[in-house]
Structure 1
Amino acid sequence: MSTPKIVFVTGNANKLREVTMILGGDSSPFTLVNEPLDLEEVQGADLEQIALAKLQQAVSALGVGKPVFVEDTALCFDEFNGLPGAYIKWFVKSMGLEKIVKMLDNFQNKGAYAITTIAYADSKGQFHIFQGKTHGTIVSSNGPTDFGWDSIFQPDEGHNNETYALMAKEDKNKISQRGRAFAQLKEYLYNTGA
């Protein structure tokens, strides 16, 4: 009997590796497959709405009845009432990490939080939302810069003042917003059989 397949819509190889690890890797009761669909990014501040819009596009492209999920991650600065939020990907692309950090130079509050929202469509076509959140601080880039903004986010729960970029993947996955959101999805999948 073959294991059920669940589609993760992402073109990001780092995310795929991280999520595969969180969901149980080779010991998982399902197989995670990647589908790098080019989904339209809905603009807005409501993270659930953004994730659901992406999921609706994915279901439309792949067909109802195929288990599929999308995820959207935001980095929110306390001083800016949650901005850049869902726009962080575009800030990183257009400004770079150093300029993002400089945005907070004139402010004492460097607090931030990261949120990952997962929208999942099960084999019956029903939609489910899972969300994880981690608080931290924006710091000067420290560590590899090959995974988004990981090198400028220092989680409050980390050790030795490490940014996400400096943490071992297993340690990061235990406290990261993505790890928390996917732990909820994993619990749901393992309890319902995908």
Structure 2
Amino acid sequence: MRKLTEKKLLVATHNKGKLDEIRAMMAPHGIEVTSAGEMGLPEPAETEDSFIGNARIKARAAMQATGLPVLADDSGITVDGLDGAPGVYTADWAETPQGRDFMQAMTRTWTELEARGVAEPRTAQFRATLILLWPDGHEEIFEGVAPGRLVWPPRGVQGHGYDPIFVPDGHDVTYAEMLPEQKNAISHRARAFRKLETLFA
């Protein structure tokens, strides 16, 4: 397992909420973070059917464009009552001609659960896959899973994506009702990140 000795890292994302989370997690380690969005890089098409595959696409595109070590994340929510959907297509469920609308995605998810008559608790898992890619092609992969359940209507104004309807196991509030530091301590991304931290020099 290779140690990360660089103090500058490119995060292959255009998602400000995701960037803010990763930046906060990196700060205690003295690692300066910039993003593909901030550098004006195009978003590559995510054509794989796995979180690892799509994270690798984003990492390689950003690394080839800049020559920097890159951290890429692919994440989403898997809903048991929908046979694991939306999964890798989580962001696709939010796509509109005007950009991403996660209220649309959350509403679709809940509507489909209702149509199937799925019993409570409507269990789901947030999943995150992190890939750290060096310019020489070496990569390290870390995965994190946060189990929980879905609630309706949406609650809270913090966070992003599906956070307003996801209550993590062991809690009675949604991710969106938590302060960022509370969510960042228990989230799927935090669980993957704790594994990544073993690489810090």
Quick one: distance in 1 between partners of 2:58 and 2:15? 15
Unmatched runs of 5 consecutive residues or more in structure 2? 1-5, 97-103
* Contact 2:142-2:192 at 8 Å conserved across structures: yes
Residue in 1 that maps onto 2:99: none
Give yes or no for the alignment of 1:181 onto 2:192: yes
> Deviations along 1:4-52, whole A, 9 cap, x unmatched?
21111222222222111122x2x42321122213232323432111211
Q: Any residues of structure 2 matched to 1:63-142 within 5 Å, and which?
A: 63=67, 66-94=68-96, 95-105=104-114, 106-108=117-119, 110-122=122-134, 124-140=136-152, 141-142=154-155
* Contact 1:45-1:85 at 8 Å conserved across structures: no
Name the SS for the 1:104 alignment partner. Answer: helix
Cα RMSD of the aligned pairs, angstroms, is 1.9
Quick one: distance in 2 between partners of 1:42 and 1:11? 13
Q: CA deviation at 1:123?
A: 5.0
One-letter amino acid matched to 1:12: N
Greater than 6 Å deviation, 4+ residue runs:
none
One-letter amino acid matched to 1:28: H
Q: CA deviation at 1:146?
A: 6.2
Residue in 2 that maps onto 1:21: 24
> Deviations along 1:101-139, whole A, 9 cap, x unmatched?
222112115111110111111354311111100001111
Residue in 2 that maps onto 1:62: 66
Residue in 2 that maps onto 1:10: 13
Residue in 2 that maps onto 1:166: 177
2:46 aligned residue (34, 42, 50): 42
- Percent of aligned positions with the same letter in both sequences? 27
> Deviations along 1:141-189, whole A, 9 cap, x unmatched?
111276111101111132xx1110001212211211011112222221x
In structure 2, the CA distance between the partners of 1:61 and 1:12, relative to structure 1 (3 Å rule), is same
Q: State the TM-score, normalized to the length of structure 1.
A: 0.85
Quick one: distance in 2 between partners of 1:100 and 1:72? 19
Q: CA deviation at 1:57?
A: 1.6
Unmatched runs of 5 consecutive residues or more in structure 1? none
104-113 vs 38-47, which moves further: 38-47
Q: CA deviation at 1:79?
A: 1.7
Aligned residues: 182
91-100 vs 130-139, which moves further: 91-100
* Contact 1:157-1:175 at 8 Å conserved across structures: no
In structure 2, the CA distance between the partners of 1:119 and 1:32, relative to structure 1 (3 Å rule), is same
